[in-house]
Amino acid sequence: KGKCYQNVLGNCEFNMIVTFVYAGWEGVAHDLRVLTEVIAQPSNNFPFPPPGINCYLLLFICVVIITCKYYLWDAAYTNTRFMVPYHNVRYWLGDFRRRRAMTKEEKFNHAHAKLRNVIERAYGVLNTRFPIFDKMAPYPFNVQRNVVIACFAVNNFIRKEKINDKLFAQYE
C-alpha cells in the first residue's frame, strides 16, 4: 500500500526527553521481540536499570520518586527488570474517571498509567512535528533510519533548550 513500517524503541524521561533510541527494525514486529534483540547486543548500549533491586519494592518507589532509573512498560512486556501493570486489573486512565482506585493493584496501575502517559505524549509531539514519518517510503531504509534518529535529536534539542514550543505546550 506504499507504507513503510519501522519499529522504533525509545526510552523517555518524565520531561519528554528521549534518552535512548533504537531505530531500524524493518517491518512489523512485536515490541517484546525488538526489545529482546536490542538488549541482547551489548554494542547497542541499552541503558539498563540498576540491578539487584526487588521489583515489588520498586512498585512504590517509582510512583513517588520521579528521578529514578526504572522503566515502565506496557502489558506487552514481561515483568522482569521492567515494571508492567497488573494483568486483569483496571489500567487505562479513563477507567478511573467514574471510580477511584481502591486496591493496591489498582493504585499501582493508575500511577503506572499516569507515568507511562509521558512516552505517549512524547511520541505524539514527534509524530506531529515531523510529518515526514508518513512519507518515507521512497527513501532507502538506512536513510529512513537516520531521518528518525535525527528527528529525535532535533526534538530533544528543542526540549532541552527550553525553546518556546507550541507542540510541547499542547502535549504537556
Beta bridge partners of 66: none
Q: Does 93 fall in a domain?
A: no
Instruction: Give me the long-range contacts of 35-41 (CB less than 8 A, separation at least 24).
Output: 35/9, 35/77, 38/9
CA distance 77 to 83: 9
Work out how many domains the chain is built from and give that number.
Answer: 1
**Parts of the chain with a pLDDT under 50:** 53-69
Q: Does 107 fall in a domain?
A: no
**Structure confidence at residue 4 (pLDDT):** 62
**Structure confidence at residue 73 (pLDDT):** 58
Q: Does 160 fall in a domain?
A: yes
Q: Does 154 fall in a domain?
A: yes
Q: Does 104 fall in a domain?
A: no
Closest alpha carbon to 1 in 144, 145, 137: 137
Domain that holds residue 156: 6-88+115-171
Q: Does 24 fall in a domain?
A: yes
Q: Does 83 fall in a domain?
A: yes
Q: Does 109 fall in a domain?
A: no
Region at 28 (left for phi over 0; alpha for psi -120 to 50; beta for the rest):
beta
